[in-house]
């Protein structure tokens, strides 16, 4: 393949997006609510449509706020329906996000069909076109550093996510592990919940225009899930899930360019292959990981650490 600045730009945007998603994704996984990412990324559509109807423009800030509010409302409605409707949370999530997504579709079809607000673009993104919209970072006589506009937006989101998680690491961990202890200690677990939901919503909105919501959902869920197969130490888990995220973006783009040629097919979309790559990495971790299939079927039994030694009766007294 011919390596160009375009490839670098696509990988840059993909990587930033994967990193930005993997951070809140880790805590979604730990709270056993990974599908909230799926729900929120769909439910932002009516937020986008309404923001467009009110502002009459596709200016990023309006769309951004509209979508972020819709995202947080999804979390709020889900909470209410679970609490007052005697409905299990997964079902409540399904009710909320399909309804909101459908409202979004109808709004767009009815009143905004003539403009370039394409529902398909929300799902699949336009990663290949991000290099067309470049921003100059700095310019000297011999150097010209330009990055895609999307990269700046997503980098800002990544920074926001890093900041929030670094600041509230202790509180997020506590509220995820034991909300009742968090509450009795005065740490407001519901506040942490909505902060996490806001992070997911903001990340989704910032990413979807460039990479589409499929890859956002994949990157929210799969890198943390892969890391969970490899380690049970929280800091290492987060680091591993970030590495998996970067690898997915890199391998995804490379294989989207190289793989189809090997099979004699035309090039495929990068974002699709990035989502596929993260799935493949998960599969590898599942098969070859420390608790993976290979290990489970190897037939070897590890000797327990605290096995009582029958030849030495004194060993009993130690316990």
Partner 1 sequence: MRPEHPPEFPLAVHDLTVAYHRKPVLWDVDLNIPDGSLAGIVGPNGAGKSTLLKACLDLIPATSGEALIYGKPYAEQRDLIAYVPQRESVDWDFPVSAQDVVAMGTYRKLGWFKRIGTTQKKQALAALEQVGIGHLANRQISQLSGGQQQRVFLARALVQDAQIYFMDEPFAAVDAATEQAIIELLQSLNARGKTVLCVHHDLATVSRYFDHLVLLNMRVVASGPTPETFTRENLQKTYGGKLNLLDDVAQALKNVGRP
Name the residues that contact partner 1, by CB under 8 A.
30, 32, 86, 167-171, 173-174, 176-178, 180-181, 183-187, 228, 231-234, 237
CA atoms of 130 and 133, how far apart (whole Å): 6
Torsion of CA 119, 125, 130, 135, to 10 degrees: 70
Q: How far is the CB of 68 from partner 1 (least distance, A)?
A: 24
Q: How far is the CB of 186 from partner 1 (least distance, A)?
A: 6
Pick the closest to residue 208 from 114, 120, 94 (CA basis). Answer: 120
Q: Are 37 and 28 in contact (CB under 8 A)?
A: yes
Pick the closest to residue 20 from 204, 202, 158, 142 (CA basis). Answer: 158
Taking the least distance from each CB to partner 1, the nearer of 58 and 183 is: 183
Taking the least distance from each CB to partner 1, the nearer of 114 and 170 is: 170
Q: What are phi and psi of 310, to 5 degrees?
A: -75, -25
**Greatest Cα-to-Cα distance within the chain, rounded to the nearest angstrom:** 85
Q: Is the torsion defined by CA of 94, 99, 102, 108 positive or negative?
A: negative
Q: How far is the CB of 304 from partner 1 (least distance, A)?
A: 11
Taking the least distance from each CB to partner 1, the nearer of 26 and 256 is: 26
Q: How far is the CB of 8 from partner 1 (least distance, A)?
A: 34
Element (H, E) at 192: helix 189-211
Taking the least distance from each CB to partner 1, the nearer of 30 and 134 is: 30
Taking the least distance from each CB to partner 1, the nearer of 180 and 296 is: 180
Q: How far is the CB of 168 from partner 1 (least distance, A)?
A: 8
């Amino acid at each position: 393949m011919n390596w160009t600045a375009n490839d670098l730009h696509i990988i840059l945007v993909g990587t930033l997006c994967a990193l930005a998603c993997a951070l809140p994704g880790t805590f979604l996984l730990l709270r056993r609510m990974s599908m909230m990412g799926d729900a929120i990324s769909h439910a932002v559509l009516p937020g986008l449509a309404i923001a467009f109807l009110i502002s009459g423009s596709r200016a990023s800030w309006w769309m951004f706020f509209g979508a972020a509010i819709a995202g947080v409302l999804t979390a709020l409605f889900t909470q209410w329906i679970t609490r007052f409707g005697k409905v299990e949370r997964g079902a409540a999530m399904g009710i909320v996000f399909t309804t909101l997504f459908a409202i979004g579709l109808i709004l767009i079809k009815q009143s905004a069909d003539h403009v370039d607000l394409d529902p398909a673009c929300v799902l699949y993104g336009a990663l290949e076109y991000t290099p067309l919209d470049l921003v100059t970072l700095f310019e000297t006589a011999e150097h010209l550093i330009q990055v895609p506009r999307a990269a700046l937006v997503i980098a800002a989101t990544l920074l926001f996510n890093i900041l929030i998680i670094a600041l509230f690491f202790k509180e997020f961990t506590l509220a995820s592990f034991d909300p009742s202890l968090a509450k009795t200690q005065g740490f407001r677990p519901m506040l942490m919940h909505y902060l996490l939901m806001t992070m997911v919503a903001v990340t989704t909105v910032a990413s979807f225009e460039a990479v589409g919501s499929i890859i956002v959902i994949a990157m929210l869920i799969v890198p943390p899930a892969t890391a969970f197969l490899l380690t049970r130490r929280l800091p290492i888990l987060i680091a591993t899930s970030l590495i998996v995220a970067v690898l997915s973006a890199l391998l995804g783009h490379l294989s989207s360019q190289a793989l189809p040629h090997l099979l004699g097919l035309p090039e495929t979309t990068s974002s699709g292959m990035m989502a596929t790559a993260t799935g493949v990495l998960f599969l590898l971790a599942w098969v070859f990981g420390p608790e993976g299939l290979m290990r489970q079927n190897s037939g070897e039994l590890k000797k327990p650490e605290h096995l009582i030694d029958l030849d030495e009766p004194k060993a009993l007294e130690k316990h």
